[in-house]
A and B are shown apart, each in its own frame.
Chain A
Amino acid sequence: MTELCDLPAHRLVAALKKRQVSAREILESTLQRIAAVDGRPGSLAPGELTAEDTQRVHALITLTEQRARAQAENIDRKLAAGEDPGPLAGLPFTVKDIFCVLDTPSTAASRILASFNAPYTATSVARCEAAGAVMVGKVNLDEFTYGSSNESSAFQPSTRNPWNLSRVPGGSSGGSAASVAAGEAVFSLGTDTAGSIRQPAAFCGVVGLKPTYGRVSRYGLIAFGSSLDCPGPLARTVTDAALALQAMAGPDPHDSTTAVLPPGDYLGMLEKGVKGMRIGLSPDYFQITYPNQETGEYEQRPVPAEFEAAVRRAASLLESMGAEIVEGVPMPNTRYGIPAFFVISRVEAASNLHRYDGVKYGYRTDQPVQDLREMYRKTRAEGFGLQPKLRILMGMYVSAAQYSAQYYQRALRVRTLIRRDFEQAFDPAGKYRLHALLTPTTPTTAFPMGAVYGDSVLMQYADQLTVPANHAGIPGISVPGGIAEDGLPIGIQFLGPDYSEAALLQISRAYEIATEQEEWRKVKPRAIQTIL
């Protein structure tokens, strides 16, 4: 039986406004689902992993039940008084624990921020709440977002994939994707620096939208790579992602990098179809690059055949709905996205992480110290896990004066080439004139827990098809595109020009309509069905 917590956002809001259901009832259904499937929340002292732990999702770090009940009651009160409760009224959502929320632990999944209660709320969270959404909790992620599997979180047990609990949910917004897939939230707020919304969305069979850089405010987001970070929604349907983006997008006086452009009409264009739209396929997105484990050399090989087939099938469905498919779009610098990211993101990470010093907020060592320097060293040694340490050290190395021209400056120039690939593909007066490029989202389906973690290079290459959009700043969306032979979801990705979120959502919705009646759409996350 379908529970309230499994219904899409747009249907819940409609039912709520007709007074067929209350915000309280939607919330109770969601809290019951969390109690049934989530297991114990992530903690700094988890002890041994139990057999039961391996059968639960563990999306949450902090359940904000009281706050959620107060918000839901407020929505019901507004409805009773005949007031407009907002476009997201009564929708339970989760927030990646990288956003500050007033008086709520905001940990970045790191020991160094475990005790931090934010004194203010991030703009994107505040806008969702102002639109009537009900925050049910803060969800797990890779420590400081540094990973693609959630396994690096200091808060264990880390999140598991609701489709197969022995698999990772992807990352770094793994708790967001898993909570949405498992019905623990109607939508979630995540962030994407190299693919951290789209890759877990693909792994967990949900929709994940990375907006254009500057489309959604970063105020209150704990920073990783400040020139790359983008907050955005994860949801079970394209319409729900559009609804959430509509609430959070737009300029913010607290973030001077937000574009002074009004948000698009993300809902109004959704059902308009794809007639006359030009959608491109690139051979460079059907290739993946991997380090050969024996020789250490980098090799290219085709994406898995079922991934290419899913993308080509989507293209032919869209073509049958009136889109024009453009083959052979050259994106030759795609393969350099990860090497350039290894440099640029590390420099920005190192810069952003120097602020954690045991003085202003967060963790300070308990050990006796002689002086300030020793306090810094012990605090940072104990507070940061290995992945943040690795990023800080690497960032310092590649930006050091004697290496900067060779590494950092070179990577920033390669970033120009990556941006040019997209500019040429999307140029309205150019050869290709694309509205969107259609690609696979990931090189594989969700991998087994423990299979990649520790190998920082292989882990980073999980983002190779998503990271070019972050370098270029353009928007991208991952939508469910089928189920692979291993029973796990396949994600397909649409990438578009700056501020083209409305068109990407429109194309995604057309694909969703075209596949609505297909058998694979009826398959729900199996592991969740078993627990329930």
Chain B
Amino acid sequence: MTDLIDRDTFNHLVDLAAFELNEEQAQYLLREMNNQLKAIHELAVIPLEGDLPITSHGVPYTEAISAPPRADEWIPFEHPEAILAQAPETQDGYFTVPDIPHQTLE
């Protein structure tokens, strides 16, 4: 596990993340990602038993400490206008956005 992230892979990630970067930012980010990857490679030396389970959160959620499923009830928010007021642009109670690009799949 000594692979480094190359510039093409990096550019692909930048596109997926919907960022635009100048060259200085791109160089900094790629360098730091590869430095972090080097730290992550420390994990490669740990022998893991074949059936070692993953832990997705530390504290086990037993039935005794978990809330029972709640009723599927619709509870309206008291001030929906306060939510809409935070949006950069709205019209008639809808969020508005620039044109959505369309693409025809072949």
Mark A residues whose CB is within 8 Å of B.
Answer: 116-117, 119, 212-214, 227, 251, 253, 256-261, 291, 296, 298, 333, 335-336, 338-340, 342-343, 350, 357-364, 369-378, 380-381, 384, 386, 389-390, 392-394, 396-398, 406-407, 409-417, 419, 454-457, 460, 470-474, 498
Contacts and interface: CB of A to CB of B under 8 A. Distances in A.
Interface of B: 1, 5, 9-10, 13-14, 16-21, 25, 28-29, 32-33, 35-44, 46, 48, 52-59, 61, 64-67, 70, 77, 79, 82-83, 85-89, 95, 97-101
B67 A256 contact: yes
A291 B95 CA distance: 47
Contacts of A471: 55, 58
State the main secondary structure of chain B at its contact with A: loop
Contacts of B9: 397
Given A358-B88, A371-B99, A406 B58 contact: no
B29 A390 contact: yes
Contacts of B5: 397
Given A358-B88, A371-B100, A394 B59 contact: no
A473 B57 contact: yes
Given A336-B46, A378-B20, A360 B86 contact: yes
A472 B58 contact: yes
B18 A377 contact: yes
A398 B20 CA distance: 21
Contacts of B32: 390, 456-457
Contacts of B48: 410, 413-414, 417
A416 B54 contact: yes
A277 B64 CA distance: 27
Given A371-B98, A456-B36, A457-B36, A360 B42 contact: no
A430 to B, nearest CB: 17
Contacts of A227: 56-58
Contacts of B20: 377-378, 381
Contacts of B29: 386, 389-390, 393
A84 B49 CA distance: 57
B90 to A, nearest CB: 10
A294 B77 CA distance: 57
A291 B40 CA distance: 12
A389 B61 CA distance: 32
7 contacts: A261-B65, A364-B89, A371-B101, A376-B18, A393-B33, A419-B55, A474-B59
